[in-house]
Chain A
Amino acid sequence: MPALVSSTGAQHARILGIGAYRPGRIVPNSEIVDAIDSTDEWIQQRSGIRERRWATDGETVQVMAVGAARQALERSGIDARQIDAVVVATVSHYLQTPALATTVAHELGTDQAAAFDISAACAGFCHGVALASDLVRGGSAHHVLVIGVERLSEQTDPTDRGSAFIFADGAGAAVVGPSDVPGIGPVAWGSDGEHADLIRSRDDWRDVLASDAPRMPHLVMQGNAVFRWASFTMAKVGLAALDRAGITADELDCFVPHQANMRITDAMARAMKLPATVAIARDIAEQGNTSAASIPLALDRMYAEGTAHSGDLALLIAFGAGLAYAAQVVVLP
């Protein structure tokens, strides 16, 4: 029997660069409050959000994904033709097929890179980074582009007091490539489908089509139960990712959780007993919750504000509908 050739990749992988795309429409709390009979103060106290970014009509998921990806490529010093695989994490691509990644890969000018979408909701970016790391180390790709992009404004119920002020739009990207030293730690990930109803699209598309007044299915979530899970169960996953990477909390420079809610970020940091020396991502205050895009967007702000630096050790943790979650320690580019 003839022996197959098996691929061998780089010994290690790392993130080479991060890109961000923040859409043009700034929506302050004052535009949200009337429909939910609330106040700016209540929203800030409840979520830490002062304003969020929503896409304008022309800012499609394609436009935003390409924008973030181009910036990530430029910062990485990598040409689009060097990209072998494009992985797009999104729940905002409303064409059932083909995958958004294929048209993004084409518009970027890749040389027919492998391209596919993944559906892991708010946990999408860290799933993508884990896949990219393994693609590079397994020899399936030299350079992988991971993109998280969302237009959750279209799925937001403006009259839902529990979520109308939370969701937002944007894109973030990372180029993952080979490295001489470890740059992406082992992933700690999983799912808890028993609680799949805690965060979900309210309606199945077939039910939408069968209704008299079809409309985009809204995102709904059970706030307090999600808060409990995200703050405490996820703190344990974060600690597991540190442990798997052989890093202690004292050695960590940055904590970059999915920007779900400032209260979740604070509660997680407390539950993980992170020392005060760790810089914490707080992009949500001005960006809102952008699901799969939130971690690279938050990292982009930390660089701009000088709280993240090349070579820093950062814990990334993403969690959301599914319930799905993934976390890993990375060396920042």
Chain B
Amino acid sequence: MATTEEIRTDLAEIVNEVAGVDADDVQLDKSFVDDLEVDSLSMVEVVVAAEEKFGVSIPDDEVKNLKTVGDAVAYIERASA
């Protein structure tokens, strides 16, 4: 079972690849839209990459609830538990 920090690190790598955001900036308290400037289309790409990476399913209805990096990490932890 991956730790929260491991999931955050992997997610940061994905956000970096998709949106060009510095991976070090992808911290749990950061908002995807307001802090990292990941728009809704890039968010779809992040979600699809995260589904593959973590072997979880993140339906469209859930995506809008993932405001911060911490929200996404927590969802992935729950979904893969």
Contacts and interface: CB of A to CB of B under 8 A. Distances in A.
A232 B48 contact: yes
A227 B44 contact: yes
Contacts of B63: 224
Contacts of A263: 41
Interface in B42-68: 44-45, 47-48, 60, 63
A45 interface: yes
Contacts of B47: 228
A263 B63 CA distance: 19
Interface string A128-156: 00000000000000000000000000000
* Among B45, B60, B63, residue most surrounded by chain A Cβ atoms (within 10 Å): B45
B41 to A, nearest CB: 5
B62 to A, nearest CB: 12
A224 B44 contact: yes
B39 A231 contact: no
Contacts of A225: 60
Q: How large is the interface on B (under 10, 10 to 19, 20 to 34, 35 or more residues)?
A: under 10
B41 A227 contact: yes
Contacts of B40: 223-224
A240 interface: no
Interface string A189-229: 00000000000000000000000000000000001110110
A227 B44 CA distance: 8
A25 interface: no
A224 B60 contact: yes
Contacts of A228: 44, 47-48, 60
Contacts of B41: 46, 223-224, 227, 263, 267
Interface of B: 39-41, 44-45, 47-48, 60, 63
24 contacts: A45-B39, A46-B39, A46-B41, A223-B40, A223-B41, A224-B40, A224-B41, A224-B44, A224-B60, A224-B63, A225-B60, A227-B41, A227-B44, A228-B44, A228-B47, A228-B48, A228-B60, A231-B44, A231-B45, A231-B48, A232-B48, A263-B41, A267-B41, A267-B45
